[in-house]
Amino acid sequence: MKLKKILLFFSVVYAPILGYAQSDKLLLSSKVDSVLLSEFKEPDLRATGSVDQPYQYPVALSWLGTIDAKKVGIPYCNYLSFNSSNKGVRYWAAINKPIRYQLNIDPSFVNSWESLGGKPKTSSDDNYLEVEYQEEALYSFPRLNYDSDKSYQALGSLLVGGKAEIAPVDMSERGKTYELGALQLSGKDGTFAGYLGGTNSSGIYGYGNLYMISQEESYMTGVNVYLFKKPEKYEKEAKLILRVWMPGEVNGDFKLNNIPIEYAECYFSNIRSFNPNEVPLKDGAIAHFSFDRPISMYGKPMIFISIEGFSSDPTKEDFIMLMDLKGKEMSDSDVYNKLSHNSFVRFNNSDTNGEYLYPINQFGAPMGASLMICPILDSQGKDVLAVSTPLSEEDVSVKIVGDNVAISTSNSDYKEVMVFNTVGQLVTRSVMEDNVCNIVLPGGSYILLLKSISGKDYIKRFLIN
């Protein structure tokens, strides 16, 4: 499904159900009592330059619910992280998609645009320039000639295609577009209760980030999770658990951790300090998660990445994720729109049934705050299927004849059959009988999920012409 249709679909179909409740019982018994700021090296990797910019940088796919596609167009960009592997580049953009540069000045002052690569197209009212970049490469931003004798070109560059590590926030200029640190918690009696974004004794069991990927032909090869510091206290076999999910509608609600796509682990003992010149921070660490098979982003309009496995005893463990504390200002309506937020919390298992229901700001973080959970993507990955756990393809057979889908397996652990469309809505549900199930579906693209009593679920995408 194209990004334009996706944004319109979620704004119209899911608008009534995207809100989240605020209730006194959801407030932490502990509170944020101190802010720990990361210490930066000098100079900063990137800078945005003058505030007097005659045109804007492209809109990126973050804080999705705050994007008004009618005003700013359909974004086909993601922000890039500050990891040196990104070579200081600010944006990752899709190939052959319109990247919009909106004017900040009256169009009558414009003399000409120079696109500096790509295929340019101005709007009918001359309020913006759109450029379609037709080759994978590194591009300078356009040059605008205006007001008789002035010229402006935005600092930085745009990566189209290739490999990139994306981020939930604009990491171009600290203090202005982002600020990194951590939030410490204390209980009602003032005792130390851990960290928001890490080990805590406050009933938080998981954290996660919501993403929309600009390049659906790309593949996710891994995830870097940035930490405020390298953990020094933890149990010998302690490990973090990362899961990649496809969000979607379930019983009239929008569920972030809906369809499982991938699972990975990182033992605390494998968390490493930053390499020299890897990031512009003096201290910190990376928990790296890699996948046996790259995850295709095709047919996955949104993904949700969760981090769990940390303990509930901050006296024995000190896991702390980095958080952007700059956040984002929001209107009252955006605040209560689930899609307006990047980072979420799994809180109080007995009440939430293991779901990620609430944005992290509801627990003391700034509005729009985001955790530094950063997917690594590659537009040139291999065409493979994403499987939630290592599994032999011989275990499951999916045969399609016309509109009939015949599912069979040699593994009797598979009991429940669920079929979703590509926006995460449950289309049909059935059960395996004698390791066989037959279902009838109209033409379209689908995702098959076989639920196993062993917990080793199977997921596969298929198409009915």
Structure confidence at residue 83 (pLDDT): 92
pLDDT of residue 138: 85
- Interval 135-154 mean pLDDT: 89
Q: Which residues of 171-181 are buried (b: 16+ CB within 10 A; e: fewer)?
A: bbbbeebbbbb
* pLDDT bucket at 443, cuts 50 / 70 / 90: confident
Lowest mean pLDDT among 142-151, 301-310, 338-347: 142-151
Q: Decide if pLDDT at 393 tops 60.
A: no
At 125, is the pLDDT very low, low, confident or very high (cuts 50, 70, 90)? confident
Residues 297-303: what's their mean pLDDT?
Answer: 89
**Residue 403 or residue 82, greater confidence:** 82
pLDDT at 42: 64
Contact 265, 240 (CB under 8 A): yes
Confidence band (pLDDT; 50, 70, 90) for 390? very low
Tokens, residue 313: 């005893």
Higher pLDDT, 87 or 205: 205
**pLDDT higher at 28 or 44:** 28
Rounded to an integer, what distance in angstroms lies between the CA atom of residue 201 and that of residue 192? 9
Which residues, 6 or more positions from 329, have their beta carbon under 8 angstroms from its beta carbon? 367, 368
Q: What is the mean pLDDT of residues 371-380?
A: 92
Cα 9 to Cα 302: distance, rounded to the nearest angstrom: 12
Chain-centroid distance, C-alpha 78:
10
pLDDT band at 291, cuts 50/70/90?
very high
Lowest mean pLDDT among 26-35, 136-145, 182-191: 26-35
> Which pLDDT does position 454 carry in this prediction?
61
Gap between the terminal Cα atoms of the chain: 16
Q: Work out the average pLDDT over 386-394.
A: 38
Least confident of 44-48, 152-156, 348-352, 423-427: 44-48
Question: Does residue 24 carry a pLDDT above 90?
Answer: no
Its pTM stands at: 0.80
* More confident position, 310 or 450: 310
Query: In this predicted model, what pLDDT tens digit does every residue of 359-373 receive, in sequence order?
Result: 999 999 999 999 999
Kind of pairing, strands 285-296 and 119-122?
unpaired
Distances in whole angstroms, Cα of residue 301 to Cα of each of 9, 99, 224, 285, 349: 11, 19, 21, 30, 27
**Per-residue pLDDT for 423 more than 70?**
no
Report the C-alpha gap between 361 and 343 in whole angstroms: 8
Rounded CA gap, 465 and 132, in Å? Answer: 31
Cα separation, 334 vs 361, in Å, equals 13
Beta strands in 86-228 (DSSP E): 91-93, 98-102, 110-114, 119-122, 128-132, 137-140, 143-146, 150-153, 157-160, 163-167, 180-186, 192-196, 204-211, 219-227
Residue-averaged pLDDT of the chain:
84
Does residue 11 or residue 149 have the better pLDDT?
149
Q: Highest-confidence range of 261-265, 350-354, 381-385, by mean pLDDT?
A: 261-265
Q: How far apart are CA 383 and CA 460, in angstroms?
A: 13
- Interval 54-63: pLDDT, tens: 999 999 999 9
Q: How confident is the model at residue 14 (pLDDT cuts 50, 70, 90)?
A: very low
- pLDDT at 123 exceeding the cut of 70: yes
Report the pLDDT value the prediction gives residue 76, as an integer from 0 to 100: 95
The pLDDT value recorded for residue 10 is 44
Report residue 97 as tokens. Answer: 């998609």
Q: Is the pLDDT of residue 299 over 70?
A: yes
* The predicted structure's pLDDT at residue 26: 37
Pick from 2-11, 62-71, 145-154: least confident: 2-11
Indicate the pLDDT class of residue 349, thresholds 50, 70 and 90.
Answer: low
Residue 274, token pair as written in the block: 């930053």
Nearest to 257, CA basis, from 457, 463, 392: 457
Categorise residue 219: left if φ over 0, alpha if ψ from -120 to 50, beta otherwise: beta
306 confidence band (pLDDT: 50, 70, 90): very high
What pLDDT sits at residue 413? 81
